[in-house]
Amino acid sequence: MKAIQSLAALLIGLGTPHLVAQTSTSGALLEDFSNIRMTNYAPLWSAYLGEDPIQITSLAPQMLRDSIGPAPNGYYIHFFPNTGGGYPYPAGFAQYWIKKGTWDPNSNRLVFKMKCAADIQKTQTGYGNVQFGTYVKPHNYSDPSYQGQHYYHLFDPNFYANRWVMFVVNRVPQHRVGMLSTLNWPEDPEVASPSLGSPVHYFDGLTRFYIDSQSGAWSNNTCHISDFEFSTVTGEPDSMVSSVTATYSGTGYEVAFSAPKGPQIIYHLRYSTSSMKQTGFASGIDGGTLPSTGNSYTSILWKSPPMAEAPMMYVAIQPPGQTSFTEVAIPMMRDPVAAVPVASCDVNGDSKTDLKDVQLAVSAALNQTNCTADLDGNGKCDVVDVQRIVNAMNGQTCRLGP
């Protein structure tokens, strides 16, 4: 308790700087969970306890773990870029927190992966067992406290115990708050039909978002998420194929996706261990046809024949009457492997020791992030390590060892 109090006092005395987003020339990595970053107000990622009060989050190597309590508790993790003053541009927007890469305002994919310790079945209705909620607003919106227009993406995969599911969020939501469930939303809705004044591309206007369980065996379960990355894909029929998931069940591949609401549509699917983008849809192995639900709950599931898992599997989904198709690239998904940390007072590796390193050391000592600065070699990060980093920040030599 004294160590925690000392750390809290030290943090108050030093202030609480936020971590500045880093950019490079390619890609757009939002999060790899090498640490839990902080805004000036709160952790950037956390469990939302207002709906599911018994959830305990922690870091695993390159993953965020959520241990869910007994029924009726479920899974509810949110990305929370609230600055304390709401969601002003740019710090209150997701793009500000890109860890690596170059932001493209026209990004049209957000891909991440999720796994759970126990099986969770898809719904019988096609409504979805995972809701991905988004808030989107123009950069110049007058009220910084407003999160944005609230959309919902509905996903309905089977989760097989300890097997990763890949989620692909595009710019076609299944619902908007307060609107009829029968409406089909256009691709990039806040450009196609702006509701808040100025048009803004969907992910360019993204502020807060969340992952919320809807049905299934979520209570007394433990789930992990990892590898959130934005990308831009062209030439695919996004208005016809949205909210895609993919997994390997142990005996074959499964791909679920949402179709438009209304009349039934028949999709044609093919699969291959090499991309069909250059060789054409017909170059893949025939995976048969799949009808949409023909109602407001639109997620449908394709299963491959029994087969071994490949290093990469491509599944192509073609709507009727089109030459274009959506191609889902499914890698052999495994748990991330964390790099072996090398103890240093330069905790974040930016070639200097400053307040950012102190903040990371304090977070590690409070068990909020992985321990990467065990300077005295006692097997844990604690107040001693924090004080050594403070001393190094003030000009002393970084002390390593007992």
Q: What is the pLDDT tens value at each position of the chain, 402 positions in all?
A: 444 344 434 433 443 332 222 222 347 999 999 998 999 999 999 999 999 999 999 999 999 999 999 999 999 999 999 999 999 999 999 999 999 999 999 999 999 999 999 999 999 999 999 999 999 999 999 999 999 999 999 999 999 999 999 999 999 999 999 999 999 999 999 999 999 999 999 999 999 999 999 988 899 999 999 999 999 999 999 999 999 999 999 999 999 999 999 999 999 999 999 999 999 999 999 999 999 999 999 999 999 999 999 999 999 999 999 999 999 999 999 998 755 455 789 888 777 899 988 988 888 888 777 787 888 888 788 999 899 999 999 989 898 887
Sort strands 109-116 and 130-136 into parallel, antiparallel or unpaired: unpaired
Report residue 53 as tokens: 């009060």
Domain assignment of residue 380, yes or no = yes
399: domain CATH number is 1.10.1330
Beta-bridge partners for 135? 150
**Does residue 211 share a domain with residue 100?**
yes
| Residue 152 and residue 262 in one domain | yes
Task: Note whether 140 and 176 are same-domain residues.
Answer: yes
Q: Please report whether residue 24 resides in a domain.
A: no
Same domain for 123 and 261, yes or no, is yes
Query: 63 with 180, same domain?
Result: yes
8-40 per-residue burial string, b: 16 or more CB within 10 A, e: under 16: eebbeeeeeebbebeeeeeebebbbbbbbbbbe
Mark whether 401 and 319 lie in a shared domain. no
State the DSSP code for 306: S
Residues 326 and 363 in one domain: no
The edge-to-edge listing of strands for the beta sheet with 326-331 is 285-291, 266-272, 312-318, 326-331
- Residue 27, domain member (yes or no): no
- Phi then psi dihedrals of residue 362, to 5 deg: -65, -45
String of b and e for 132-168 (b: at least 16 CB within 10 Å)?
Answer: bbbbbbbeebeeeeebbbebbbbbbbbbbeebbbbbb
pLDDT of residue 368: 75
Identify whether 23 is part of a domain. Answer: no
| Residue at 360: amino acid letter | L
CB neighbours of 92 closer than 8 A, spacing ≥ 6? 81, 82, 83, 86, 144, 207
The answer to whether residue 267 sits within a structural domain is yes
The phi, psi pair for 341, rounded to 5°, reads -70, 145
What does the block give as tokens for 314? Answer: 């491509």
Give backbone dihedrals phi and psi of 387, rounded to 5 degrees, phi first: -65, -35
CATH code, domain with 198: 2.60.120.430
In this structure, are 145 and 39 located in the same domain? yes
- Does 355 lie in the same domain as 319? no
The domain boundary, picked from 307, 331, 355, lies at 331
Closest to 221 (Cα-Cα) out of 118, 71, 72, 335: 118
26 domain residue, yes or no:
no
Q: Residue 108 has which token pair?
A: 């049209």
Tell me, yes or no, whether 182 and 109 share the same domain: yes
**Phi, psi values for residue 4, rounded to 5°:** -65, -45
Q: Is 84 exposed, middle or buried (0-12, 13-18, 19+ CB in 10 A)?
A: exposed
The whole-model pTM stands at: 0.79
Element (H, E) at 229: strand 222-231
β-strands 109-116, 28-31 pairing:
unpaired
Q: Does 5 share its domain with 55? A: no
CB atoms inside a 10 Å sphere around CB 316: 24
Instruction: Decide if 45 is inside a domain.
Output: yes
pLDDT value of residue 342: 59
Single residue among 331, 363, 390 that ends a domain in this structure: 331
Q: Nearest CA to 30 among 262, 289, 229?
A: 229
Number of domains in the chain: 2
**Rounded CA separation 315/305 (Å):** 13
Cα 341 to chain centroid distance, Å, stands at 24
Among 312, 331, 350, the domain boundary falls at: 331
Cβ atoms within 10 Å of 331's Cβ, excluding its own = 14
Our separate counts of H helices and E strands in the chain read 4, 20
Domain shared by 218 and 356, yes or no? no
Other CB atoms within a 10 A radius of the CB of residue 115 amount to: 20
Residue type, 341: P
Evaluate whether 329 touches 353 at the Cβ level (below 8 Å): no
165 belongs to a structural domain: yes
Domain with 364 in it: 1-18+340-402
